[in-house]
Amino acid sequence: MSVIERVRKEGRRTLTEYEAKMILGHRGIPVVRERLAYNQEQCRAAINEIGLPLVMKGCAPEISHKSELGMVMLDIQSEGEAEAAFEKIMKAMPAKTPAVLIQEMVKGKRELVVGLVRDAQFGPTVMFGLGGIFTEILSDVVFRLAPFDKQEALNLIEEIKGRKILDAVRGMEAVDRSLLAHILVSVGEMAVEYPDIMEIDINPFIVSGRIPIAVDALIVLS
């Protein structure tokens, strides 16, 4: 059974962050390395596998605003710290089957956003722009009606005002534009293949070296 079918069967409209990234990863979109832990034992295994430093987030179908609920802990430096964080998040979660998502701490100063909306007049539309807090503050984003090809995606990328952030600046490498274009094309294709998907919000992609990596993602069904 596909992830979407299972979510439907459970009567949910919102995929968990973990489920969303499973789907994205499947489409060749780079996603952060992560493991889901339901207990201390799985937590320890995950810490060993992912390695320090870590990010830990509460992850359950009932939870949509993790940050506001204080369920996101960044830059965890030691095993002891990680185990304490696990306990704290598990206790605070108002969920039937609480779990903690244990992620690699992706380092990078540049954050991007990729999204999909279904506009009342234009239908499925892909959005791209500056991510993280800048999405809200600068709203430096551009749109394309989906689906579109790679050349169109490359054009789109050059249309944001802050496009220079994608170049080799201040000792950082230039972002892999071809990969970025692939990501945008893939999100556009998903809109066509899954008419069920109403909204995708991948924010942020953190640019690590040349690679934009999805560290948070939201998928909402109709």
Nearer residue to another protein within complex by CB, 95 or 220: 220
Token match 């779990």: residue? Answer: 99
Q: What is the closest distance, in whole angstroms, from the C-beta atom of residue 143 to another protein in the complex? A: 4
* Residues 136 and 65: beta-carbon distance below 8 Å: no
Nearer residue to another protein within complex by CB, 67 or 121: 121
* Residues 29 and 22: beta-carbon distance below 8 Å: no
| Helices 150-157 and 177-193, packing angle to 10 deg | 120
The total of other beta-carbon atoms located within 10 Å of residue 100's CB is 28
- Residues 80-139 touching another protein, rule: CB under 8 A, are 119-123, 125
Q: Of all residues in the chain, what percent are helix, strand and coil, respectively (each to 5)?
A: 35, 30, 35
Q: What is the closest distance, in whole angstroms, from the C-beta atom of residue 178 to another protein in the complex? A: 19
Total of chain residues touching another protein, rule CB under 8 A: 16
- Residues 137-176 touching another protein, rule: CB under 8 A, are 141-145, 148, 152, 155-156, 159
* Residues 153 and 184: beta-carbon distance below 8 Å: yes
Per-residue binding letters, 9-48, with another protein (x by CB under 8 A): ----------------------------------------
Q: What is the closest distance, in whole angstroms, from the C-beta atom of residue 184 to another protein in the complex? A: 12
Is the Cα torsion angle 200, 126, 182, 190 positive or negative in sign? positive
Q: CA-to-CA distance for 97 and 74, rounded, in angstroms?
A: 23
Nearer residue to another protein within complex by CB, 72 or 145: 145
Nearer residue to another protein within complex by CB, 101 or 112: 112
Which of 37, 71, 64 is CA-nearest to residue 219?
64
199 binds another protein (CB under 8 A): no
Q: What is the closest distance, in whole angstroms, from the C-beta atom of residue 118 to another protein in the complex? A: 11
User: Residues in the site for another protein, rule: CB under 8 A?
Assistant: 119-123, 125, 141-145, 148, 152, 155-156, 159
